[in-house]
Amino acid sequence: MNTHPAHRAPDEHARAALRRGARGFSAEDIRRSYLDFFVSKNHRVVPSAPLVPQDPTLLFTSAGMVQFKSYYADPEAAPYRTAASLQKCLRAGGKQSDLENVGRTLRHHTFFEMLGNFSFGDYFKKESIEYAWELVVDVWRFDRERLWISIYEEDQEAFDLWARHIGFPERRIVRLGKKDNFWGPVGDTGVCGPSSEIYYDTGSKRGCARAECKPGCDCDRYIEFWNLVFPQFFLTERGVYDALPKPGIDTGMGLERVAFILQEAQDNFHTDLFLPIRAAIESALPAGTDRAKASMAVNVAADHIRALCFAMTEGLIPSNEGRGYILRRLLRRSLTKMHPFGIRAPFLHAGVDSVASVMAVRYPEIGERAAFIKKAIHAEEERFLVTLEQGLERLESVISRCTREKNRVMPGEDAFVLYDTYGFPPELTSELAMDAGLAVDMDAFAAAMRAQKERARSGGFHVGADVPGARPFRELRKSGDTTFLGYETLSCESWCAALRIGEGGGGGRTAEGEGPDRLLELIFEETVFYPESGGQVGDTGAVTCAEARFEVSGVRAQNGKIVHLIPLGAGRADGEDGGEALERLLAGAKCTLSVNPVLRSATARNHTATHLLHAALRSVLGGHVVQAGSFVEPGRLRFDFNHFQALSREELSAVEAFVNQAILKNVELEHRIMKYAEAVRAGVIALFGEKYGEDVRVIEVEGISRELCGGTHVARTGDIGLFLVRQEGSVSSGVRRIEALTGTGAMDYIHHVIGQREALAAVLRTSPEETAGKVRALIAEADELKKRLESRESKIVGDRIGEAVHSARAIGRFSFATLEMESGDIAALRAAGDSLREKLERGVGLLLLAASKKPMALVVVSEDVVREGGLNAQTLTAHLSRALSLRGGGKPHMAQVGLDSRNDFDRVVSETIRFLKEAE
């Protein structure tokens, strides 16, 4: 037997959560035990980086090492030498996309959690392999006979460590090529190295039945669950692999795959990470649906709703560009996969609450954003379902035609029609065509896309043409981009250039974020209405034309035009058909556009306050603080920023004081247009990920703040009046959020708080100034009463333990005692169990806690019986679990059994007596 350090007894703390038996492993148990294990190995636990990375070359964070990658080339720059993390990952676009595999296999996901441990010039292969073996075999107790190892074909060092040092059977070590077991570099040059992967053999029934099936096969038999990467080279421009002076370690383990193994589940989708989500999705299936046939579609939807929730929690929404396009693909793929099973109404949004519940322990922010996410997803579902049925019919027609003509390639022009008219992403069309045995001519599709863009540039303007079912705008006058006059004035006259009447505005938003039933959209040559952008809500106000007045509920920008959103019914001259009469009215005379001055001023106060807040945070916390998002509306402001911990009360007070001092100084704001490169050189703050033109607008508060910004602002800082932080909290790991009020909003809040304080003082029968002292006194009094009660209960329990020992019955060579506790908690139950166990001689005790929501039984065995071997609390609990279909587990001296009702305890007592008799 090997005796190297990897085989010593596992750390007790790392295993504490995992003693309930195989099916007792929860995903949170796995997360906690993994991180605890590496803490015991002197690793720093580093929070997950956001899904939306700062690296502009990445769509999403796709691996744990993303936030550390610079440390491998320069370990001295790392703030720590070893680290462990639980990283949120999304692989649904780009080189590492798993999107098309979701639903085709039982092990791939778009969103997943990656457990990883890392070394930056500290330990290397030997320790990495030792740690992996110790955790998998000693702590998690995997069946080592079902483990396989793959290594890079030329990595003899890794082979020797597994075979000679660990003692792993050589016949289950597989050498694979670069495709499978060599990582990097990310570009043409850079850090790279071999890897070693640990596989779990799920059995021949899941395999492809080919004789050559082994780790690396694409079937579901061998599940790779941990990849140990050894970054030890730097590939130069000459193609030479130079050895790094300080090689590192980068490992990645899929939480979902480990949960599948440890929970002995049917597959990843039948673990505790997915079962409640699958149930929510399945509830949408019509009665009588063959659930087995629908299983893969349900898996796809369950996977994709997780990815949508996590991405949208970080501020993304489905759209036609960039990361938002990936979200739209996920949503539409889910609806398309479920369509054959009779789903004709929005259903995906119903899974949001299940995702929030399953992930609540680690990711409470999903629950905080659940209402917004559900509303946004529901709206997306409604839009796509309008055209999905027709699109699928069109696709089926195209597939049938290709089959008749024996053409195995679908024309790209047909794929373009599906995209342009029915909203089918080309990747979705390609996947559906593949199911029918066809490829898609993507070159021809790209050519059709280019031709459409060229027509758009040379022809008329179409706002919202990207939204399925949106009507084109009716052009009233030839015009270029809308000229914005709203920085200088709040009212102007202008000709209407185009209009559209549609259901929900073809994807437009009102100020509340919802499309009305029917919406009039107007484009003017000039406007004073600021469109929603940069985190600032759009203006509201009125458009007057002749005798008609239209209330503008929101404004958006698209393709250089500013679109004014008007719920039909608000104007007096829209007419029932909303068509020709409106067109004649708007074409016949200039309109007067007027912004609501009260709401504009309130929004401006809050927007300028965000600039001052940004400066305050950088001053108080440090220059590392960077804006990660903001939202500005008349009633409040929200500011997200990168920071590693919660702000203390003193820090928040300092931030508030900084902003209010800037307000008291009444500094005039300067607005000027500069070249982007010049502004950056001058130190003006630009937001990461924002796209700026050559000319940019700079907002400066002299001596305090300089930022690139296109929003509306006050003339002087004194116009803000007052700044008040209402709350500070976490958005996600490494991102904090401050919500604040200004001006009249801040004063209203202060009056509300004062009123609440006075009301509390009245209830406590004291003055407002003495409220805190009175509350503290009441808490101290309650604590003292609680101590007295606990002392009295402890004495009562002690007396009852003595009675239980005195009345213990002899069963063969054992004494057997029972004790029922009507009050107390689990901690009190365990304390009583310890006391009973110490007093029993050659004894076995059963204790019942009936006070909790679900009764709990505790099994205790005295030290002398445990030392003899053969009988202990673990073995007895295992027998009770099997015999009575209960769940339990614990240590040799003490174990617990979950009960469904009080009557179960009587069953446990009877079965224990029978077991003890047979033990003779």
- Number of Cβ within a 10 Å radius of residue 368: 15
Distance CA 131, CA 249 (A): 12
Asked if residue 33 lies in contact with residue 139, where contact means CB atoms within 8 angstroms, the answer is yes
14 contacts: CB under 8 Å, gap ≥ 6? 33, 36, 37, 40, 135, 139
Q: Which residue has the higher pLDDT, 22 or 586?
A: 586
> Helix 322-338 vs helix 426-435: angle between axes, to the nearest 10 degrees?
30
Which among 161, 231, 141 has a CA at the least distance from the CA of 190? 231
**Pairing mode of beta strands 173-176, 147-152:** parallel
Task: Note the pLDDT of residue 96.
Answer: 65
Of the pLDDT bands very low, low, confident and very high (cuts 50, 70, 90), residue 12 is very low
Task: Note the pLDDT of residue 614.
Answer: 95
Q: Two tokens at 469?
A: 């079912």
> Helix 291-313 vs helix 275-282: angle between axes, to the nearest 10 degrees?
110
Q: Which residue has the higher pLDDT, 229 or 503?
A: 229
Q: Is the pLDDT of residue 471 over 80?
A: no
- Lateral strand order in the sheet of 474-475: 474-475, 496-503, 518-524, 561-567, 554-558
Distance CA 88, CA 62 (A): 8
Which residues in 476-603 belong to E strands, given as ranges?
A: 483-484, 491-494, 496-503, 518-524, 526-527, 541-545, 548-552, 554-558, 561-567, 591-595
**Residue 290 CB burial class (10 angstroms; 0-12, 13-18, ≥19):** exposed
Task: Note the pLDDT of residue 73.
Answer: 85
Which among 250, 231, 248, 233 has a CA at the least distance from the CA of 124? 248
Task: Note the pLDDT of residue 453.
Answer: 65
Q: Which residue has the higher pLDDT, 672 or 676?
A: 672
Q: Is the pLDDT of residue 711 over 80?
A: yes
Distance CA 389, CA 423 (A): 11
Q: Which amino acid is at 232?
A: Q
Q: Which residue has the higher pLDDT, 158 or 184?
A: 158
Distance CA 147, CA 95 (A): 29
| Mean pLDDT of the residues in the chain | 87
Distance CA 797, CA 805 (A): 12
Of the pLDDT bands very low, low, confident and very high (cuts 50, 70, 90), residue 472 is confident
Of the pLDDT bands very low, low, confident and very high (cuts 50, 70, 90), residue 2 is very low
Task: Note the pLDDT of residue 284.
Answer: 95
Q: Which amino acid is at 868?
A: E
8 contacts: CB under 8 Å, gap ≥ 6? 134
How far lies 564's CA from each of 475, 505, 580, 631, in Å? 15, 10, 19, 20
Q: Is the pLDDT of residue 11 over 60?
A: no
> Helix 291-313 vs helix 322-338: angle between axes, to the nearest 10 degrees?
160
Name the β-bridge partners of 433: none
**Percent with pLDDT over 70 in the chain:** 90
Task: Note the pLDDT of residue 797.
Answer: 84
Buried/exposed code over 89-119 (b: 16+ C-beta within 10 A; e: otherwise): bbbbbeeebbbeebbebbbbbbbbbbbbbbb
Task: Note the pLDDT of residue 54.
Answer: 52
pLDDT digits (tens, 9 = 90+) for 126-143: 999 999 999 999 999 999
Task: Note the pLDDT of residue 508.
Answer: 39
**Pairing mode of beta strands 814-821, 843-849:** parallel
Looking at residues 653-676, what average pLDDT do you find?
94
Q: Is the pLDDT of residue 19 over 60?
A: no
Residue keyed to tokens 């063969």 = 812
Asked if residue 902 lies in contact with residue 913, where contact means CB atoms within 8 angstroms, the answer is no
pLDDT digits (tens, 9 = 90+) for 401-422: 999 999 999 999 999 989 888 8
